[in-house]
Amino acid sequence: MDFKKLLAYQKSFELAMFIFEISKSFPKEETYSLTDQIRRSSRSVSANISEAYRKRRYPKHFISKLTDADGENSETNTWLDFALACNYISNEDYSKCSDEGKEIGKLINYMINNPEKFGVNIEN
């Protein structure tokens, strides 16, 4: 299976693209701070999931990269909190992103807790 078929990857990619679109309207003075940070962390979720999948031969590496993805997902949620507090995003967009982030977190944690379902040989 290709990592692009993983639901966690697909949903995290979609969320990163949505965040990219809404962050285009952030103030210019946020370009090298909040805008950059939220785009990087949201994109890193998908990147870490893809890396984890390619390292599934090594259970500890697989879980480590997924833990990184989960951490980046939480970081993205923190940046969303700032964006909402600064009135850069609507409550509706915040709720959509937050809800998606929670679902992505559940999917990542399912992968962490069930590595054998993703081709990881846990006897290594």
Q: pLDDT 10s per residue in the chain (124 long)?
A: 799 999 999 999 999 999 999 999 999 999 999 999 999 999 999 999 999 999 999 999 999 999 999 999 999 999 999 999 999 999 999 999 999 999 999 999 999 999 999 988 877 5
Let me know if 85 is exposed, middle or buried by CB neighbors in 10 A (0-12, 13-18, 19+): exposed
Instruction: Supply the pLDDT for residue 119.
Output: 87
Domain extents in the chain: 3-115
Instruction: Supply the pLDDT for residue 1.
Output: 74
Give domain 3-115's CATH number out of 2.40.30.10, 1.10.3980.10, 1.10.10.10, 1.20.1440.60.
1.20.1440.60
